[in-house]
Amino acid sequence: MTSRARLFKEYKEVHREKGGDNDIQLTCDDTNIYRWTAYIKGPVDTPYQEGVFQLAVNVPEQYPLVPPQVRFVTKIFHPNVHFKTGEICLDILKTAWSPAWTLQSVCRAVIALLAHPEADSPLNCDAGNLLRSGDHRGYRSMSQMYTRLCAVHSNGGRPGSS
C-alpha cells in the first residue's frame, strides 16, 4: 500500500468516527494529503486539562514505514516538548516507530505523554529540572500558566465542540 493510499484510508476512518474521540480533532490539509493538523485536549487531572493544543503533522512519502513529523504549534511548558520549536521527544516518533501506528494513535500517544512526562529526557530543561528536583508545584504552576495563556480559547469553546 502506498503512503497516499494509507493516508486516504486514515482520512476516511477519521471522518467515519467523527465525534467518536472527543479528545482529538484531526484534519487533513485541503490541498496536500501529507499535511495534517490536530487539535488535542489536555488530559484530565493534569496542568493541561483546560487547554486545546494544536499540532502540525507532516507525513513523509515513505509513511507508514517512516514516522510522521509532529510538533506543537501551541506553546506548551512540558519537559518533552521544545519550548521554541514545538519538537516532541517521544520514542514512537523516533526509534520505536511501527507501521501499525496511525496518525490518530500518534495523537493519543502525545496526550499520554502530557499526562506522564519523562523528565529524564527533556527538550525543555527548565521543565525537566523542576520535575527532577521534586518541585512538582512549580512545574504544575508554570504548565498551568502557559496553558491558560496559550491553549485556552477566549470564547471558552474547544475545536470540535458544539
- Total count of residues recorded for the chain: 162
Q: Which is catalytic among the residues 28, 89, 107, 125?
A: 89
HSE-CB of 70 using CA atoms within 13 angstroms:
31
For the question of residue 125 being annotated catalytic, the response is no
Residue 39 to residue 109: CA distance in whole angstroms: 13
Q: Which of 23, 46, 55 is nearest to 158 (CA)?
A: 23
Q: Which residues are catalytic?
A: 89
